[in-house]
């Protein structure tokens, strides 16, 4: 957490404010280890004077394209958030990095647990070293059912564990894997090789459905996630199984249960998702 819908929501929010702004200086950095590519003072010097051109998302990374072939990247890990703030806005709790723009506005990165990472790459080649191990994007039109079949073909291991592997398919975390498996009616402990063609197709469409629904609902706020303006998402109000242990299934009324798969809390309906 945040997963693909939360990161995509933040990128769309920040696109409304950031393009065209020029970085004046780094105003604050209280956790140097968070900045992975340079010492904080060098990081700030390299950013000063650069203008923001575009923003994009790759997997769970927020990529800010700057002038002079520089790329500022945030990976929020478990509790990171990225906010655009007007000049003079009140301080945000757990702020770790603040960039000030020449018009007085700010970009603030907050992170309760300090697991997030910030990178500044000088050229695309440097950036690709970080991104090269990532799998395909599940919501692109070019990501077809045939591509999904290729990912699963010959894979051994528990299905849920495979779906969490960012080198195979990006953007899915615990929340949306739990939800996609429920929507497709597949037990999370099934072996990937045990799925038939019909089940694989159901899972393919379920993944795309739950991710798109998450984006439409502006993300899932269960604890720390906030969007680019500091507001909670709405998707938690419509979750089928995630963090709903002992509550009735929205489809059949059976009680949702919680198990552990690959050391991750896993929620399912035993009636809608039989083991075999």
Provide the H-helix boundaries in the chain.
4-15, 40-47, 124-131, 145-152, 159-163, 174-184, 197-216
Domains of the chain: 4-131 (3.20.190.10), 145-268 (1.10.8.50)
Contact 115, 78 (CB under 8 A): yes
Give the active site residue among 12, 15, 77, 264.
Answer: 264
What's the whole-model pTM score? 0.96
> Cβ(35)–Cβ(29) under 8 Å?
yes
Out of 57, 60, 218, 244, which one is annotated catalytic?
60
Q: Is 258 in the active site?
A: no
User: Pick the catalytic residue: 2, 5, 40, 188?
Assistant: 2
The pLDDT tens digits for 75-130 are 999 999 999 999 999 999 999 999 999 999 999 999 999 999 999 999 999 999 99
CA distance 163 to 262: 11
Q: CB atoms < 10 A from the CB of 137, how many? A: 16
76 an active-site residue? Answer: no
The reported pLDDT for the residue numbered 4 is 98
Tokens 């923003």 correspond to what residue?
A: 55
Is 264 an annotated catalytic residue? yes
Annotation marks residue 2 as catalytic: yes
Is residue 66 left, alpha or beta, with left meaning phi > 0 and alpha meaning psi from -120 to 50?
A: beta
- pLDDT one-digit tens code per residue, 184-212: 999 999 999 999 999 999 999 999 999 99
Nearest Cα to Cα of residue 119 among 28, 36, 25: 36
């Amino acid at each position: 957490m945040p997963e693909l819908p939360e990161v995509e929501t933040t990128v769309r929010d920040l696109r409304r404010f950031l393009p065209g702004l020029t970085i004046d200086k780094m105003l604050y950095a209280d956790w140097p280890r968070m900045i992975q590519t340079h010492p904080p003072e060098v990081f700030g010097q390299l950013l000063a004077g650069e203008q923001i051109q575009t923003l994009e998302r790759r997997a769970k990374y927020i990529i800010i394209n700057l002038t002079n072939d520089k790329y500022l990247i945030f990976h929020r890990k478990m509790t990171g958030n990225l906010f655009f703030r007007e000049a003079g806005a009140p301080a945000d709790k757990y702020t770790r990095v603040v960039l000030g723009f020449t018009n007085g506005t700010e970009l603030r990165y907050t992170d309760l647990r300090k697991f997030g990472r910030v990178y500044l790459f000088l050229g695309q080649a440097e950036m690709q070293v970080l991104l090269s191990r990532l799998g395909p994007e599940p919501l692109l039109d070019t990501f077809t059912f045939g591509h999904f079949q290729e990912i699963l073909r010959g894979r051994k291991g528990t299905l849920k564990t495979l779906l969490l592997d960012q080198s195979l398919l990006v953007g899915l975390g615990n929340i949306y894997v739990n939800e996609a498996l429920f929507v497709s009616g597949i037990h999370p402990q099934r072996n990937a090789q045990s799925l038939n063609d019909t089940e694989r197709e159901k899972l393919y469409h379920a993944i795309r459905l739950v991710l798109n629904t998450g984006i439409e609902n502006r993300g899932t706020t269960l604890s720390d996630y906030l969007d680019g303006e500091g507001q909670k998402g709405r998707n938690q109000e419509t979750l089928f199984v995630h963090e709903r242990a002992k509550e009735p299934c929205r489809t059949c009324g059976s009680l949702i249960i919680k198990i552990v798969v690959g050391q991750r809390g896993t929620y399912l309906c035993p009636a809608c998702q039989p083991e075999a």
